[in-house]
Amino acid sequence: MSRTKNISIFLITIILFSVFGYMGAELVHGQTLSWGSQGEDVTLMQTRLRNWGFYDGPISGIFGQQTYDAVVRFQRANGLAADGIVGPQTRVAIGLPTRTGGTTTPASRGVSRSDDVHLLARTIHSESRGEPYEGQVAVGAVILNRVRSPQFPNTLAGVVYQPCAFEPVKNGAINQEPGESAYRAARDALNGWDPTGGALYFWNPATATSPWIWTRRITLRIGRHVFGV
């Protein structure tokens, strides 16, 4: 009897730990900054608040009394609820990144582009695994050309997640972790390499089902893919 009891206590402890562990992880990556928060976002916020004259303490990366007061002053001045907690609205008002995300990209990788690189690399990986390297760069370039084109959404996420546009988005293959060459290809595409010369479409002649796609003018063939405008 006492043995089953021990086991249940043990199990309950494990369950509780995993629940708290999960919540803990949520807090670290969550969006709300408040008294006691630390990290890059706090540094960024302190810098902004100091530039705007709300804060005159040190840029310490630690949310303390002075930071709290500064946040309250900032919230009052901007018509936000002056609670000293940096929730989603205050976050936007201060101009902090609104998605901290579960993946921790190294801080030295550039601010606005690290998200882009990741999403682009995943798309490239799922669309053109096993293709020659420049074929992967080309797929990345097509996606970026679409972002620039008036016929498609104006953001990378808009283009990638556009319904009926990419097969891997439909079947979820896009969520796989990209390989190293997909990352390099994504960076090369973002840095301006475009093997396709401005193509907006690519397809695999062996599997393409839509007759419409053949009305496009072909610019180049690389590996199994055909690129066109």
- Interface with other proteins by CB under 8 A: which residues? 47, 50-51, 108-113, 132-134, 137, 148-154, 158, 161-165, 170, 181, 183-184, 187-188, 191-198, 209-210, 212, 217-222, 228-229
Q: How far is the CB of 96 from other proteins (least distance, A)?
A: 15
Q: Where are the alpha helices (DSSP H) in the chain?
A: 2-29, 40-51, 65-77, 88-94, 113-128, 133-148, 156-160, 167-171, 180-190
At residue 38, φ and ψ (nearest 5 deg) are -135, 165
Nearer to other proteins, 80 or 200 (CB): 200
Nearest CA to 121 among 107, 100, 105, 108? 105
Q: Which of helix, strand or coil describes residue 8?
A: helix
Q: How far is the CB of 5 from other proteins (least distance, A)?
A: 27
Contacts of 132 (CB under 8 A, 6+ apart): 222, 223
Q: How far is the CB of 56 from other proteins (least distance, A)?
A: 13
Nearer to other proteins, 5 or 99 (CB): 99
Structure-block tokens of residue 118: 């990741």
Nearer to other proteins, 33 or 160 (CB): 160
Strand order in the sheet with 225-228: 201-203, 225-228, 218-222
Nearer to other proteins, 69 or 194 (CB): 194
Q: How far is the CB of 218 from other proteins (least distance, A)?
A: 7
Nearer to other proteins, 115 or 188 (CB): 188
Nearer to other proteins, 84 or 203 (CB): 203
Provide, for the chain, the percentages of residues in helix, strand and coil under a 3-state DSSP scheme, each rounded to the nearest 5: 55, 5, 40
